[in-house]
Amino acid sequence: MMKSDDIGTYAWSERTKGILDPGERHALVGMLVMTQVTELFDKLLGAMGRRQAPVEMDRIIVPDTAICKEAEEQAAAMYPEDLHVHCYRTYYLGSLLGQAFGLRWDPEALYVGCLLHDSGLSDTHAAKTADTGFQIVGARVARDLALRHGWQEPEARALYESISLHLNPYLPRSRWAPEAILVKGGAVMDVIGSYRHRIPHQQLSKVHAAYPRTGFKRHIVTSITETPHAQHTHAHFLCRCGFADLAEKNPLDNDWA
């Protein structure tokens, strides 16, 4: 089994609390390279006239279930406004990417995962990041919520992994669940602009009209650089690799900051 194969899974996360060993840190560098190569290849295919699936914000389902309502309440209570709005943009951008990629996903699981994925950066939970990766803190919050709402353990763990995997720089769509692909995709697009070329400008404008970016860049850069992330967690390591600089230069902020 390759060193990267279990990074971010439920078993790995609970065993390690998100602390990467030297081989896993090396694997993360490989993921960074792979995601750059695959995005470049995707852009080249687009330039060569690849047929694009319809991508429309109006097609996105906003689930109206008990667990979604409680996730909304938790998000509203724990996040500052700029991080709160980021979580909603993550859902819409992730859903638009899902349309572009031709994926089928569970809107309820994606919605809860997106709303709670940054729980570990909130004042409510941030102290836990001193010894546990913040993505794992958020994953536990979501899993606990799912179990309270009667989800079975496999479904609750899948929700956990949709959050615990979102800091892996590369998640091949052939291996991971669509919800994990789209929580990561929506979050990373919103933070550094990845795969924005897949979403028509008009649809990006609709997302940002509903959920403005005001104050977000400064907040997310501060959360990356100043939150006391445990050494050798994803956030700590990606910060050392220049992730904050990528957030500072997010092209989405040129049009919608």
Q: How is the chain split into domains, by residue range?
A: 54-256
Distances (CA, A) of 57 to 62, 68, 104: 11, 19, 16
32: helix, coil or strand? helix
Q: What pLDDT score does 46 carry? A: 80
Q: What pLDDT score does 138 carry? A: 97
127's tokens: 């102290």
54-256 sits in which CATH class?
mainly alpha
pLDDT, tens only, 146-164: 999 999 999 999 999 999 9
pLDDT, tens only, 63-116: 999 999 999 999 999 999 999 999 999 999 999 999 999 999 999 999 999 999
* Three state DSSP letters for 101-157: HCCCCCHHHHHHHHHHCCHHHCCCCHHHHHCCCHHHHHHHHHHHHHHHCCCCHHHHH
144 alpha carbon, distance to own chain's centre: 19
Q: What pLDDT score does 1 carry? A: 43
103's tokens: 């994926």
Q: Could you tell me if 210 and 156 are in contact, meaning their C-beta atoms sit under 8 angstroms apart?
A: no
Q: What pLDDT score does 230 carry? A: 93
Q: Could you tell me if 18 and 230 are in contact, meaning their C-beta atoms sit under 8 angstroms apart?
A: yes
**Distance between CA atoms of residues 246 and 257, nearest Å:** 15
